[in-house]
Amino acid sequence: MYEVSQNLRLARAYVPFQIYNQSWEPLEGLMRGTIFPELYFPYRKREY
C-alpha cells in the first residue's frame, strides 16, 4: 500500500526549485561534499 501525501500525483517526478540563501564556509563545504546545507544528505554507516 502507498500513502498519498501532500496532494502529489503518482508517477510524476518533482524537483523543488532550490533557493540560495545560506551556505557553509568553503572548507566545511569541501569536507561535507556540498556548500549548500539543504543538499546535505550523508549516508549513514550500517552493519550488514
Closest contact distance (angstroms) between CB of 40 and another protein is 12
Which string of DSSP letters, residue by residue, matches 19-38? -------HHHHHHHT-S-GG
Tell me whether residue 4 or residue 27 sits nearer to another protein (CB atom).
27
Q: Which residue has the cell 533557493?
A: 19
**Binding stretches for another protein (CB under 8 A):** 18, 20-21, 23, 25-27, 29-30, 34-36
Residues 6+ apart with CB under 8 A from 34: 24, 40
Closest contact distance (angstroms) between CB of 10 and another protein is 26
Tell me whether residue 11 or residue 37 sits nearer to another protein (CB atom).
37
